[in-house]
Amino acid sequence: MRFTFLGTSAGVPTRDRNVTGLAVSAGHPRDWYLVDCGEGTQHRLQHTRYTAARLRTIFITHVHGDHCYGLPGLIASSQVGGRKEPLTVCAPFGIQEMFEAVCKYTDMRLLYPVRFIRSDVPDFVYEDDDVRVDAIGLSHRVPSFAYRFTERIRERHLDQKRLAELGIARGPLWGELQHGRSVTLPDGRTVSPDQVAQPDPPPRRIVVGGDNDRPELLQPLLDQCDALIHEATYTEDVLARVGPQYQHSTAAMVARAAAHAGLPHLFLTHFSQRYRASATAGEHSIQDLIDEARALFDGELHMARDLDSYEITRERNLIKTTESR
């Protein structure tokens, strides 16, 4: 399971950070999913291996512009790039209405179907061959959601010791069992794939949160989760000055929730523009967020940067990868 940050800034872009977008891949390395689509997302994609033609589904966390203003442009550009396959958009109320208004007033005429699925309904689930995605409601000024991506295990691994015990020699029968089909042996015995399959490894899971000032709401999604990706717009001292009305999380809030869940990896993102990359560039820096989170979270802490890519391997190791063209 892989993911690439396409934008890590809150509200407005900075010189170093675009607004929110995250590419997720769980099957073929060039098939992918998009979580949020802030303005400029399609430009960020030009620096990655991901193309609009291989985009399977878009998930929008909420209707605020830094998470969705890039959606009409990306969909329109996909057509220019030759896309013909249907595209699914999972989003709360308001996203489909916004898109349809753009189509109406800008004369956008699509030659491929765009299908909208409401993700703000009870028991929302999206499934395809590679992933299962469910959602949970968060706390923000508008309805906002987190999405949990769970890989679907498709590869069946045979237990060679068990095959030998049953007298099944390597050959065509192995292939049939590998593909999930029962076989009949020369002596008339029938062997099902389940009799000779190794137990499936636990699926890899990541949770991607939308804007949210109550990270504890994520707890039902965090069981056996490999990584949480969540906004940390402020530090506690800045929140005390700006006030709670914007309903964003601090690094401390998210770190506390991640520690409670025993998460191995926490990715903080969606940083206020006041936080500079360098500690000498201004009053506030990303180091402030790091220090606040580390005081509460003992797992692996990662500060998201635009175009940084990561992979969670089958062995549950996290490695930094390159997703550039």
93-115: pLDDT as tens digits = 999 999 999 999 999 999 999 99
Considering the domain architecture, whether residues 123 and 226 belong to the same structural domain is answered as yes
Band of the pLDDT at 325, cuts 50, 70, 90?
low
| Cα–Cα distance for residue pair 268/241, rounded to 1 Å | 21
Distance CA(141)–CA(114), nearest Å, equals: 28
66 among known catalytic residues: yes
User: To the nearest whole number, what is the mean pLDDT of the chain?
Assistant: 93
128, 33: one domain: yes
Residue 273 and residue 192 in one domain: no
Cβ partners under 8 Å of residue 217, min gap 6: 136, 137, 138, 139
Q: Do residue 304 and residue 247 come from a single domain?
A: yes
Q: Which residues contact 106 (CB under 8 A, 6 or more apart)?
A: 72
Q: Which residue has the higher pLDDT, 30 or 255?
A: 255
Secondary structure (3-state) at 199: coil
273 and 182, same structural domain?
A: no
Do 277 and 244 lie in a common domain?
yes
CATH code for position 57 = 3.60.15.10
Q: Stretch 115-129: mean pLDDT, rounded?
A: 96
Strands (E), 97-180: 114-118, 125-127, 131-137, 145-151
Lowest average pLDDT, out of 28-32, 75-79, 113-117, 296-300, goes to 28-32
How many domains does the chain divide into? 2
- 311 Cβ partners below 8 Å, 6+ apart? 1, 2, 318, 319, 321
Strands 205-208 and 190-191: unpaired
41/83 same-domain check: yes
pLDDT at 281: 67
Name the catalytic one among 31, 36, 66, 107: 66
pLDDT in tens, 227-282: 999 999 999 999 999 999 999 999 999 999 999 999 999 999 999 999 998 767 67
Shortest CA distance to 116 belongs to which of 175, 68, 168, 57?
Answer: 57
> 210 and 237: one domain?
yes
Same domain for 130 and 48 = yes
Take residue 318 and report the two structure tokens written for it: 């996290």
What range does the domain containing 176 cover? 160-196
| CA angle, residues 283, 289, 291, in degrees to nearest 5 | 100
- Checking if the pLDDT of 323 tops 80, the result is no
- Clarify whether residues 180 and 317 are in a common domain: no
Surface-to-core class of residue 128, CB atoms within 10 Å of its CB (0-12 exposed, 13-18 middle, 19+ buried): middle
Q: Which residue from 65, 23, 27 is spatially nearest to 44, judged by alpha carbons?
A: 23
Sequence-separated (6 or more) residues with CB below 8 Å from residue 291: none
Of 178, 196, 214, which one is at a domain's C-terminal end? Answer: 196
| 189 and 233 within one domain | no
**How many C-beta atoms surround the C-beta of residue 88 within 10 A?**
17
Per-residue confidence (pLDDT) for residue 287, from 0 to 100? 95
Q: Are both 287 and 184 inside the same structural domain?
A: no
Q: What is the pTM of this model?
A: 0.89
